[in-house]
């Protein structure tokens, strides 16, 4: 199994021609790089489709920083810029809760505020402020091996039923550079192909398959032993029959803290009228 990366920033570093690709840098607490691929032909050398790929690099996400609120707001601004301004949003947590490095999506989904039901459930006597919240539905349906259903099939069926204006798909990613393991958030409006970073390609979740914009969000939680060895030694090892994936020893804390940061950023992006304290409490 040849390990590859889910990060567009790493893919870009390995290609010679950048025709049709632009790169912009910004950020305050994050070192943010936005890669814009103008069309599918330009993205083919990278193995990417047309779209925007935003990489936010920081200190290890397993740590809870003193400036967590500012980081969450900066992340929220990046997410909000990719979303349509109004309408129902479906947040889908992809991954397997039984495998810790793959649990980022479901763990993030568990912290996202679901509000789609509020307008029908609330009475005139209830808090009117709650009616101003954007409708949000949350889904974490497991993986093919657990359910017998492809994630794309499940999310697509729910999307057909509730007709969201956009989908946010959260998933664990793979990287090839050790310094990006657990320190990086990638956002993209090009959708996501679950499992692509570990050569376990599943059906894609994107605008073509779901009929609505799909915003992908993820954090690298695994790296291939072969690419790790090459990164540390500068030498390419002989290809094994089957590469192994490894993760950081504080993976439990990484998943917990990264999920909370992603969920906080998503909530603030979807409900800008909420205070950070409200989002953390809820």
Backbone angles phi, psi at 158, to 5 degrees: -65, -40
Q: Name the 3-class secondary structure at 69.
A: helix
Q: Name the 3-class secondary structure at 144.
A: helix
Backbone angles phi, psi at 36, to 5 degrees: -115, 120
Kind and range of the H or E run holding 23 = strand 21-26
Question: What's the length of the chain?
Answer: 282
Q: Is 142:187 a contact under the CB 8 Å cutoff?
A: no
Between CA 196 and CA 224 the distance in angstroms is 13
Instruction: Determine the pLDDT at residue 197.
Output: 47
Instruction: Determine the pLDDT at residue 128.
Output: 65
User: Mean pLDDT per 10-residue run, the chain (282 residues)?
Assistant: 77 87 95 96 91 97 91 98 97 95 97 89 64 92 86 95 98 94 97 64 85 97 83 68 82 97 98 93 83
CATH architecture of 8-274: 3-Layer(aba) Sandwich (3.40)
Between CA 246 and CA 9 the distance in angstroms is 21
Instruction: Determine the pLDDT at residue 2.
Output: 47
CA nearest neighbour of 212 among 110, 82, 95? 82
* CB count in 10 Å sphere of residue 235: 7
Instruction: Determine the pLDDT at residue 119.
Output: 73
Between CA 91 and CA 272 the distance in angstroms is 17
Give the CA angle between residues 213, 69, 130 to the nearest 5°: 60
Between CA 92 and CA 140 the distance in angstroms is 6
Between CA 81 and CA 143 the distance in angstroms is 29
Instruction: Determine the pLDDT at residue 239.
Output: 63
């Amino acid at each position: 199994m040849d390990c590859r990366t889910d990060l567009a920033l790493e893919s870009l570093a390995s290609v010679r021609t950048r025709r049709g690709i632009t790169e912009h840098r910004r950020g305050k607490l994050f070192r943010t790089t936005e890669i814009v691929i103008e069309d599918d032909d330009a993205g083919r050398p990278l193995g990417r489709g047309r779209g925007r790929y935003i990489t936010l690099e920081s200190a290890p996400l397993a740590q809870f920083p003193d400036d967590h609120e500012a980081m969450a707001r900066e992340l929220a601004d990046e997410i909000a810029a990719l979303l349509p301004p109004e309408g129902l949003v479906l947040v889908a947590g992809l991954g397997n809760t039984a495998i810790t490095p793959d649990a980022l999506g479901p763990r993030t989904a568990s912290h996202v505020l679901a509000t789609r039901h509020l307008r029908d459930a609330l009475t005139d006597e209830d808090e009117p402020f709650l009616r101003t919240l954007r409708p949000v539905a949350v889904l974490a349906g497991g993986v093919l091996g657990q359910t017998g259903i492809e994630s794309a099939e499940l999310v697509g069926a729910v999307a057909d039923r509730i007709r969201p204006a956009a989908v946010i798909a959260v998933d664990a990613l793979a990287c090839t550079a050790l310094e990006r393991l657990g320190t990086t958030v990638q956002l993209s409006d090009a959708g996501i192909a679950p499992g692509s970073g570990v050569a376990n390609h599943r059906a894609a979740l994107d605008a073509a398959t779901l009929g609505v914009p799909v915003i992908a969000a993820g954090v690298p939680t695994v790296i291939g032993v072969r690419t790790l060895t090459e990164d540390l030694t500068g030498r390419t090892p002989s290809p094994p029959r089957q590469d192994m994936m490894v993760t950081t020893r504080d993976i439990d804390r990484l998943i917990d803290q990264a999920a909370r940061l992603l969920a906080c950023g998503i909530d603030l992006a979807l409900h800008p009228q909420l205070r950070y304290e409200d989002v953390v409490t809820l």
